[in-house]
Amino acid sequence: MAKDYFKGKGIEFEDIDVSEDRVAATEMIEESGQMGVPVIDIDGEIIIGFDVPRIEEVMKRKGEEKSAGETEAEKIETTEKTEATKKIYDVIIIGGSAAGLTAALYAARREMKTLVLAKDIGGQIAKTLSIENYSGIEKIQGPDLVRIFAKQAKNFGAEILIKEVEAVEEIDSDGKKMFVVKAGDMAYKSRTVIIAIGKTPRSLDVPGESEFIGKGVSYCATCDAPLFREKTVAVVGGGNSAFEAALLLSKIAKKVYLIHRRKGFRAFEAVLEEAKSTANIEFVLDSVVEQIKGDEFVRSIVVKNKETGESKELDVGGVFVEIGSEVATDFVKHLVELDGVRQIKTNKNTETSHLGIFAAGDVTDTAFKQIIVAAGEGSKAALAAYNYIHGFENKYVTDWSKHTHKNGHKQK
């Protein structure tokens, strides 16, 4: 999250909400050539998305944050590298959303040396405008809930770094099993690992899609909808997320095509009926998107009817892809058992098939992909990792002053 990043570095910035400021939205699109957020302007140089390496490269080149010939970013990076080579963490948590940050909170409270590595903080929650089903909180915006998660974890001593993990390996260190987690040019050591990376949006995989990402193709209606005011757009999908995107866009865009490969839907009846009664939503059923076309931005899509074989071109200024999500578990597939859709298999204690590796949240084969479920599993994973390190069994004991060690004797 760009704002939290700059605050953490002590860098002053101006925050412009393009969902509220129409003029700023237009200017942002004209200057950046993008129809997606965030867009970061550093002294006239445009950065698309929350790209930390790019941000730091631009600041370094422009001489931002200089102090005694060395930028603050360089100082922080040097300190991180030095400290990382010295430390052996009790747990490294991969992922920075509900499951990962809750795991960090519980692990830190157990006095475990805790490191969170995440390519971003918040994941899909940070792209959700309103959450009304998190117990104890009547209504909250997604980014605000994530900030609470992260603040709680940090308050108890968890370290959080914005780094994308590329590999996890097991090594032998002085006769003890240890994990090495590689992220960029860094390698972090830990006794246990919790994988909580969540899901990533599934793509259409059609010509034009990748070329127009940020130029009319979006995977987050709650993020980018305000940039499509008074335009004609298409939403692709037939589940709850597709209908929620269509309903949100119907209040902003001139017209919304809802394109689905079948006649039937997986969405809840309530949202389905609301969409059917919304005048500017048009259903295009039994159809698939074959191609996305445009010049600088998206201008049209080619849609094929699966029943008739007929193709037609629809003039649209935006395409919102809402066809579900997938998990990116290739980096650990050599260590843990996956199911048919590459989710990590876990037992009721969040243990994977590999001792010392735990998993929580949407990346696992749990049937229920909800924020509160992910948070609960994150707490279980942290407690299970603690028990693993100390040789405790993961089972209920009636007397909390005693706990059976796996070798049979009692711990007090």
Q: Is the pLDDT of residue 8 over 70?
A: no
Q: Is the pLDDT of residue 53 over 90?
A: no
> Quick one: pLDDT at residue 382?
98
pLDDT band at 68 (very low <50, low <70, confident <90, very high): very low
In the structure encoding, which two tokens stand for residue 41, read together? Answer: 């302007």
> Quick one: pLDDT at residue 67?
44
Q: Which residue has the tokens 């892809």?
A: 321
Q: Residue 113 and residue 129: Cα distance in Å, rounded?
A: 33
Q: Is the pLDDT of residue 182 over 80?
A: yes
pLDDT band at 4 (very low <50, low <70, confident <90, very high): low
> Quick one: pLDDT at residue 23?
66
What stretch(es) of the chain map to CATH 3.50.50.60?
A: 87-199+327-411, 210-323
CA atoms within 13 A on the CB side of 11: 20
Task: Say if residue 38 is preceded by a cis peptide, omega within 30 of 0.
Answer: yes
The chain-wide mean pLDDT, for the chain, equals 86
> Quick one: pLDDT at residue 213?
87
Q: What CATH number belongs to 2-76?
A: 3.40.30.10
Give the least confident one: 120-134, 238-252, 270-284.
Answer: 120-134
Is residue 365 part of the annotated active site? The answer reads no
Is 32:48 a contact under the CB 8 Å cutoff?
yes
User: What's the whole-model pTM score?
Assistant: 0.70
Comparing 162 with 73, which gets the higher pLDDT?
162
Q: Is the pLDDT of residue 45 over 70?
A: yes
Expressed in angstroms, the distance from the first to the final Cα of the chain is 43
Q: Residue 197 and residue 327: Cα distance in Å, rounded?
A: 8
Return the CATH architecture of domain 210-323. Answer: 3-Layer(bba) Sandwich (3.50)
Give the least confident one: 37-41, 106-110, 295-299.
Answer: 37-41
The answer for residues whose C-beta is within 8 angstroms of residue 40's C-beta and 6 or more apart is 2, 46, 47, 48, 50, 55
- 266-324 pLDDT, tens digit each: 888 999 999 999 999 999 999 999 999 999 899 999 999 999 999 999 999 999 999 98
Q: Is the pLDDT of residue 250 over 60?
A: yes
> Quick one: pLDDT at residue 33?
66
Q: Residue 207 and residue 188: Cα distance in Å, rounded?
A: 39
Query: 4, 90, 120, 220: which one is catalytic?
Result: 220
Is residue 41 part of the annotated active site? The answer reads no
Cα angle 184-188-193, degrees, rounded to a multiple of 5: 110
Is 34:215 a contact under the CB 8 Å cutoff?
yes
Q: Residue 203 and residue 184: Cα distance in Å, rounded?
A: 25
The answer for residues whose C-beta is within 8 angstroms of residue 210's C-beta and 6 or more apart is 203
Best-predicted range by mean pLDDT (18-32, 65-79, 200-214, 338-352): 338-352
Comparing 410 with 296, which gets the higher pLDDT?
296
Q: Is the pLDDT of residue 74 over 60?
A: no
Bridge partner list, 200: 326
Q: What CATH number belongs to 87-199+327-411?
A: 3.50.50.60
> Quick one: pLDDT at residue 297?
92
> Quick one: pLDDT at residue 66?
47
- 194-222 pLDDT, tens digit each: 999 998 888 999 999 999 988 899 988 87
pLDDT band at 37 (very low <50, low <70, confident <90, very high): low
Q: Is the pLDDT of residue 7 over 90?
A: no
Query: 224, 339, 362, 365: which one is catalytic?
Result: 224
What stretch(es) of the chain map to CATH 3.40.30.10?
A: 2-76
pLDDT band at 408 (very low <50, low <70, confident <90, very high): low
pLDDT over 70, % of the chain: 80
Query: 41, 51, 223, 286: which one is catalytic?
Result: 223
**3-state secondary structure labels for all residues of the chain:** CHHHHHHHHCCCCCCCCCCCCHHHHHHHHHHHCCCCCCEEEECCEEEECCCHHHHHHHHHHCCCCEECCEEHHHHHHHHHHHHHHHCEEEEEEECCCHHHHHHHHHHHHCCCCEEEEECCCCCCHHHCCCECCECCECCECHHHHHHHHHHHHHHCCCEEEECCCCEEEEEEECCEEEEEEEECCEEEEEEEEEECCCCEECCCCCCCCHHHECCCEECCHHHHHHHHCCCEEEEECCCHHHHHHHHHHHCCCCEEEEECCCCCCCCCHHHHHHHHCCCCEEEECCEEEEEEEECCCEEEEEEEECCCCCEEEEECCEEEECCCEECCCHHHCCCCCECCCCCECCCCCCECCCCCEEECHHHECCCCCCHHHHHHHHHHHHHHHHHHHHCECCCCCCCCCCEEECCCCEEC
> Quick one: pLDDT at residue 399?
64
Neighbours of 82 (CB within 10 A): 10
Comparing 67 with 232, which gets the higher pLDDT?
232
For residue 235, give the nearest of 302, 298, 284 by alpha carbon. Answer: 284
Comparing 298 with 394, which gets the higher pLDDT?
298
Q: Residue 71 and residue 76: Cα distance in Å, rounded?
A: 9
pLDDT over 90, % of the chain: 59
Is residue 43 part of the annotated active site? The answer reads no
